[in-house]
Amino acid sequence: MVGLKHVPDDLKTHKNPALKAPSGPVRSGPKPFTSPKPSHVASPAAKPAPKKEPALLELEGKKWRVENQENASNLVIGDTELKQVVYIYKCVNSTLQVKGKINSITVGKH
């Protein structure tokens, strides 16, 4: 069985401060990656307007999809079952009321 070897006191850096001093040039690691700069800078006005997707409030199988709602304060899901789930995605400044019991509600980021 091979174990750890004993280090003599003269090789221990905490007992021999002369070993701590750098002996020669300090080698730095590899240069950090820099991404290439774009040759032209697009102005913010040159961006195309984001495509508006249609607002959805529908039941697909056992999943209620509530998507792309903006400033809607009267959204109601009424006829629910315990096996159903609600998935809310890209809704801004909107209120959804779920009447009854459902399995889960998932809110996605936009």
How long is the chain?
110
In angstroms, how far is CA 55 from the centroid of its own chain?
25
What's 8's DSSP letter?
A: P
Cα Rg for the chain, rounded, in angstroms? 31
Q: pLDDT tens digits for 32-83? A: 767 777 766 555 565 666 678 899 999 999 999 999 999 998 999 998 999 9
In angstroms, how far is CA 64 from the centroid of its own chain?
24
Residue 99 has pLDDT above 80, yes or no: yes
What's the CA gap between 105 and 85, in Å, rounded?
Answer: 6
Over residues 81-100, mean pLDDT: 93
The parent domain of residue 77 ranges over: 56-108
15 located within any domain: no
44 located within any domain: no
Looking at residue 101, its pLDDT comes to 94
How many domains, in total, are found in the chain? 1
Q: Containing H/E element for 26? A: none
- The residue to which tokens 């039941």 are assigned: 59
97 located within any domain: yes
68 located within any domain: yes
Residue 106 has pLDDT above 70, yes or no: yes
